């Protein structure tokens, strides 16, 4: 079982719609959860972090965490063509622990 699992996609969403990206993790002691966006040929950039159960909103992005189900999701509202990228889910167990990444979901926003 992979430590962090994501559907590789591609996920195709029409412009203006909501894109929903999902991630599950295996280590129950995980404490910190991150979403990174990676454009083709570029390095990952942090877009959201979440540490407690529930929703966290930042502009068009909402991260959702359910520790009981070991599930993290990212919603992108009013999807734009510039949102087309690979989205990486990442999980950290503790303060000094390594951050483990999923394989990423490729998102394509069609005009």
Q: Which residues bind another protein (CB under 8 A)?
A: 4, 6, 32, 34, 42-46, 49, 88, 90, 92, 95-104
- Least distance (Å) between residue 4 CB and another protein: 8
Sort strands 105-110 and 61-66 into parallel, antiparallel or unpaired. unpaired
* Other residues' Cβ atoms within 10 Å of the Cβ of residue 111: 7
- Rounded Cα–Cα distance for residues 111 and 100 (Å): 33
| Residue whose CB is less far from another protein, 17 or 89 | 89
Q: From the CB of 43, what's the least distance to another protein, in Å?
A: 4
Q: Is the dihedral of CA 91, 103, 60, 26 positive or negative?
A: negative
The CB-of-44 to another protein minimum distance in angstroms stands at: 5
């Amino acid at each position: 079982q992979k430590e962090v699992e994501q559907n590789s996609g591609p996920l195709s969403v029409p412009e203006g719609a909501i894109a929903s990206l999902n991630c599950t993790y295996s280590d129950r002691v995980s404490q910190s959860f991150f979403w990174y966006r990676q454009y083709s040929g570029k390095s990952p950039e942090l877009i959201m972090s979440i540490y407690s159960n529930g929703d966290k909103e930042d502009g068009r992005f909402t991260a959702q965490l359910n520790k009981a189900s070991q599930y993290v999701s990212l919603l992108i509202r009013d999807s734009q063509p510039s949102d087309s990228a690979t989205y990486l889910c990442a999980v950290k167990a503790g303060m000094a622990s390594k951050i483990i990444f999923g394989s990423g979901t490729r998102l394509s926003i069609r005009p």
